[in-house]
Structure 1
């Protein structure tokens, strides 16, 4: 960006000098043959100013967008989650540990997201996925766990996958509304956001989380790929 400014300044100075030459040539009939050459030089200077000014604008816009995204992600990292009745942590605590999937919508949306995740429970946990259900209508979702002895292991994994709960809901709502506004999404629309291991947003959308796609795209959180692919969960948005 520094060089873009320097090039704009240099081309602008060259353009001013060329304009003075053009004025002198137009006022002196004997220098009339020089006018086409001077006009050509002026066009080059103006073109250079336009190109480098555009490049600076584009770079500055990208920088501001990145800073805005980082600010939103930092705000997200400070939001609180309840792990159990005795433990509350900020989202940032889970960086490098879990890939959060935030489901935000009415209770019925959370319930359906819960039900549709059942076939992928074990695979999601293997990839370090934990779900954060954010209910937006004040009702309670129906998260039914099979407490039978035969399903004890499955139920334990289901509870682990859905163990997190947002704390200080108003702060979560404010953050969510800002995200929706920037994305041009209706405030009434149910949405999901998936985070990478480093806490940055890797994907989002309107509707139910794509559990099957997450299982296919994310590397296991343990084993030979652990460490090597940490954080490589796709590009950030």
Structure 2
């Protein structure tokens, strides 16, 4: 509280009532016409939201709120993307349900007719036709139920994948000391390669990438090192004059660092769980230019494979070959 009060101006006249953490503080000599700035107090990802009320005495009410975490619910954006990727899926599912309802109704009618025919000896000749119609209705209902189940399962898988991609796009990266961006900001700009593992794994991945630095930079590759043990190693670059150009490109290749590590860890743990990979295993994930996951695996990133598979990010073929990033996983 002492550091908090130290930021208050001294040239104030008139009373001021201040509420903080359910305590009331009274400051004398406050001038009502003074424009009192909103006070920010950030501690352990808490944000203070201040409101000023116009009255005979100025009152500032502050409330604390935790930083919002990522929602586990599927957002409307993911649903819209799913509709765009599969525009006729909803139509197909509607007709499947309609056919199931029609076949079920036909089967119900055929069942009542069969009961009536069995109860009436004079209609015994109709039993065979009724049974044939009932079998057709049951078969049709079963087939369309299977098609609906398969379509709905594919929809759920796609929605889950799009939701994970959206959560990934919302994760934060630090470019330098003054700039923090989201992963989505790099869509169309770079192809991210996420290296997740202990410090020695990150350091060895850094060393193995050196022979392919020029080719990786030409293909727009940007590496995101995530130290699962919390010990991100410091990279050493050759600052000699003859290696100056290569060092600049290596710094660009490895310039990104994750922000809000807990959210990155949560997302990576979900990916490992879905892939059946041990939580302790070091992994890599390769993203396409559009930000979608194109490849992943356990162990060190295959830098040579990236160079062979990815098209250049600039030049006459840029844009035209963006679709050759690889299929989406």
TM-score (norm 1): 0.96
| Contact 1:96-1:231 at 8 Å conserved across structures | no
1:111 maps to which residue?
A: 203
Deviation at 1:220? 0.8
Residues 56-90 of structure 1 show CA distances to partners (whole Å, capped at 9, x for unaligned) of 11111111111111111111111111111221111
Structure 2: runs of 5 or more not aligned: 1-92
1:100 maps to which residue?
A: 192
Question: Given the alignment of the two structures, is residue 208 of structure 1 paired with residue 329 of structure 2, yes or no?
Answer: no
2:220 maps to which residue?
A: 128
2:270 maps to which residue?
A: 178
1:9 maps to which residue?
A: 101
Higher relative contact order (CA 8 A, sep 6+): 1
Residue correspondence of structure 1 range 179-194 to structure 2 within 5 A: 179-194=271-286
1:83 maps to which residue?
A: 175
TM-score (norm 2): 0.70
CA distance in 2, matches of 1:224, 1:72: 33
CA distance in 2, matches of 1:172, 1:203: 18
| Contact 2:226-2:232 at 8 Å conserved across structures | no
CA distance in 1, matches of 2:282, 2:136: 53
CA distance in 2, matches of 1:32, 1:233: 67
Structure 1: runs of 5 or more not aligned: none
1:233 maps to which residue?
A: 325
Question: Given the alignment of the two structures, is residue 161 of structure 1 paired with residue 253 of structure 2, yes or no?
Answer: yes
Structure ranking higher in helix proportion: 1
Runs of 4+ more than 3 Å apart: none
Deviation at 1:195? 0.7
CA RMSD of aligned residues (A): 1.3
CA distance in 2, matches of 1:200, 1:58: 24
